[in-house]
Amino acid sequence: MNGNSARRDAIKAITDYRTTHAPLNFSETSPTDVFGCNVFNDSVMRTRLPRNVYKSLKKTMEFGEKLDPSVADVVANAMKDWAIEKGATHFTHVFYPLTGLTAEKHDSFLVPDGKGGAVSEFSGHMLIQGEPDASSFPSGGLRTTFEARGYTAWDVTSPAFILENPNGTFLCIPTAFVSWTGEALDKKTPLLRSLQALNRQAKRVLKLFGVETRLPVTCYAGVEQEYFLIDRHFAFARPDLLIAGRTLFGAKPAKGQEFEDQYFGVTPRRVLAFMMEAERDLYKLGVPVKTRHNETAPSQFEIAPIYEPGNLATDHNQLIMTILRTVAKRYGMMCLLHEKPFAGINGSGKHLNYSIGNEEVGGLFDPGDTPHENAQFLVFCAAVIRAVHRHGALLRATVATASNDHRLGAHEAPPAIISVYLGDNLTSVFEQIKKGKVEGSKQKSIMNVGVDTLPPLPIDPGDRNRTSPFAFTGNRFEFRAVGSSMSVAGSLVALNTMVAESLDYMATELEAATGGDSSKLNAAVQTLLQKVITEHDSVIFNGDGYSVKWQEEAARRGLPNLRTTPEALPAISSLASVELFARYNVLSANELFSREEIYTEQYCKTIETEANLMLRIAKTIIFPAAVRYQNELAQACANLKAIGKEYGTTTLDQLTANLRAMQKVTYELQALMEGDKGVDSQAQARFYCHTILPAMREVRKHSDLLETIIADDLWELPSYQEMLFIR
């Protein structure tokens, strides 16, 4: 399939598109009736479980009390009956290994009854524990090849759900995944541990302010998911998109995003139909998707749910990515979650909105109308500032991947320097605290637009900053550096643990200063805040994070600028990180070292795959196209010469020069790939980063020039303008 046939097929698919099934009629089926219908949620449990079992389970879910194993059989039986009524024949323990993907092994409810028939079976033991082969998942040295036993453990706090398939349904049970010796082999186990640490330390601080709560203080997350959609006909003609998830070649189109007409633009009809069906499927799974819109780049879009508890938000984001990919296929499209599928235009991120609190105490990052008088808020906010300053390198490491390196530091995503944006109002408050005299803060005002028919608009006291990697946005912080294909679990684990450590510090200082005397609290808070801001205000930056001047200023402030994954990943196993995670029993030293090793290996494998793929595409697709066109031009010159006509060789000369140059750098890349890459994983990562990637960029440079010269009917790879604008 050449580029022209792919284009024609894509256009035909768009113009001839017909939905394969009747759309959901919301006038007959309310969205509220659909929402959560495939979730074993509170209403289902209240109906199907005995009262004592329901109350016991709710204590575990709401108050964090230990799970009573005796209720498991009753819950399992009710869950099985509910699932079978919905057409399920199998169940699976869903977990999130260190591959970054979702894993599941399906087991049937049906077992032979010994009489030629079968019965449905699902015990409490089956619910609580599964046993996948742990040797087949990355362990980073925690396990050896022959040590195969691993366990999944039921996560009561994330509800079971039903996934639909054209040929039936199956029951999904969210679980943690650990080795036989108890080490965490997944992303959920450390997250649950970090939530326990955060709860303990946050309650210590709240107690000092006279606030008691039965509910755990937890983190809340709102995950904004960006993605691209292209017609599948194009994807099938692009081996790089199929294998690597990004285009390794591609000339810049005549039009990209420079007109700034994509953001919030009218959504194309087929894309909107896809969005609506994806949302319907997510509603059934209880995922509270709220927002959809065009993003900055052509064919780029965003979906965002409302705030949820962090563990549930993490699970739901994995579901969102799964559903987006699945539903896109039904509409003849491919959903691209890679951070940079197309060079030269915006990549895709995943903004992580972060706060802490619970239903009883509310959001602890809410400043209220007078933040300068809200001591409790100031303590929690200062704790975050201190945490990010002390552990910024760790936070950067949680978003370090080969694919995310294409975004971070560019003029489209936050820089690799981790800083905190507070806005002018809060910055002023903390500067006043630093000086020892707080006089006030800016209040909300009203904007008169100047049109009588338009209402007055309330104005927030502070602006926002899209160039900051970690920005305060009114009542929460937004971590903008997470990559679109990544799980948010790693960043949440780091944030929860480092904030817990800062809250531990704040509580210890205040407890010592007050000695249990509440009358001394205000003075103690003032002294502590002054100390924290004096020591940590270098991490606060409200300016342009993309500017070169900021890089220079950050260096003077001592803030790390970890531009690449090989630079960033060592922070995971640094002494500071080991002490931090061990202190709060979130991750052991061995678990941290294993993660650094796994992520380093994944980085190397990613670039190795891309380089090998680039070599194959160059040799089998691009070189032949160039030679064919070279022959056509040469033959045209020969024909003109034969009949005595003048002819020019400018195009032929340009083509030949670029083809020779590309062949030269291609075989140089091949030699590098066949040579010595280093003695250990870190050395290999540096080699891939500093040697292979630059060599790949050289190959691409000449290929992209060839694409602008070679006749369109000979160029087999669908172009950027086709993939991005035909939909």
Quick check: helix, strand or coil at residue 552?
Answer: helix
pLDDT at 578 over 80: yes
Strand pairing category for 168-179 and 457-459: unpaired
pLDDT of res. 371: 87
What is the 3-class SS of 194-246, one letter each residue? HHHHHHHHHHHHHHHCCCCCCCCCEEEEEEEEEEEEEEHHHHHCCHHHHHHCC
Residue 33 is predicted with a pLDDT of 82
Indicate the helix (H) or strand (E) that contains 438: none
The matching CATH number, chosen from 3.10.20.70, 3.40.50.300, 3.30.420.40, 2.60.120.10, for 34-180 is: 3.10.20.70
User: Mean pLDDT across the chain, nearest whole number?
Assistant: 90
Going through 364-521 in order, the beta strands assigned E by DSSP cover 420-421, 445-447, 457-459, 470-472, 477-479
Contact 360, 62 (CB under 8 A): no
Residue 664 confidence (pLDDT) above 90: yes
pLDDT bracket for residue 462 (50, 70, 90): low
Lowest mean pLDDT among 3-17, 153-167, 543-557, 653-667: 3-17
Cβ atoms 178, 189 nearer than 8 A: yes
| Residues 51, 301: Cα–Cα separation, whole Å | 45
Out of 3.40.30.10, 1.10.3720.10, 1.20.120.1560, 1.20.120.330, which CATH number does the structure's domain 603-725 have? 1.20.120.1560
Sequence length of the chain is 727
In whole angstroms, give the CA distance from residue 398 to residue 569: 8
DSSP 8-state code for residue 538: G
Contacts of 676 (CB under 8 A, 6+ apart): none
| pLDDT given at position 220 | 97
Q: What is the pLDDT of residues 682-722, one digit of tens each?
A: 999 999 999 999 999 999 999 999 999 999 989 999 999 99
For residue 322, what pLDDT is reported?
96
pLDDT for 259: 62
Q: What backbone phi and psi angles, to 5 degrees, belong to 180?
A: -60, -25
Percent of all residues in the chain with a pLDDT value above 90, rounded to a whole number = 69
- Indicate whether 1 pLDDT > 50: no
Secondary structure letter of residue 488 according to DSSP: S
Tell me what the mean pLDDT of segment 399-413 comes to. 88
Closest CA to 481 of 592, 393, 404, 374: 404
Domain ranges of the chain: 34-180, 195-249+256-441+454-587, 603-725
pTM listed for this prediction: 0.94
- More confident of the two residues 392 and 450: 392
The whole-number pLDDT of residue 596 equals 96
Most confident stretch, 264-268, 460-464, 690-694: 690-694
* Token pair in block for residue 625: 């196209």
- pLDDT over 60 at 406, yes or no: yes
195-249+256-441+454-587 under CATH 3.40.50.2000, yes or no: no
Coil, strand, or helix at residue 172?
A: strand
Closest CA to 126 of 61, 88, 185, 171: 171
Look at residue 373 in the predicted model and tell me its pLDDT: 84
- Residue 238 and residue 717: Cα distance in Å, rounded? 6
When pLDDT is averaged across residues 650-676 and rounded to a whole number, the result is 96
| 222 close to 353: Cβ distance less than 8 angstroms | yes
* Phi-psi sector, 328: left (phi>0), alpha (psi -120 to 50), beta: alpha
Residue listed under structure tokens 């602006």: 463
61 vs 604: which has the higher pLDDT: 604
- Is the CB of residue 580 less than 8 Å from the CB of residue 589? no
Structure tokens of 450? 């100047």
Query: Ramachandran region of residue 678, left (φ > 0), alpha (ψ -120 to 50) or beta?
Result: left
- The alpha carbon dihedral of 486, 488, 493, 496 has a sign of positive
Q: How confident is the model at residue 21 (pLDDT cuts 50, 70, 90)?
A: low
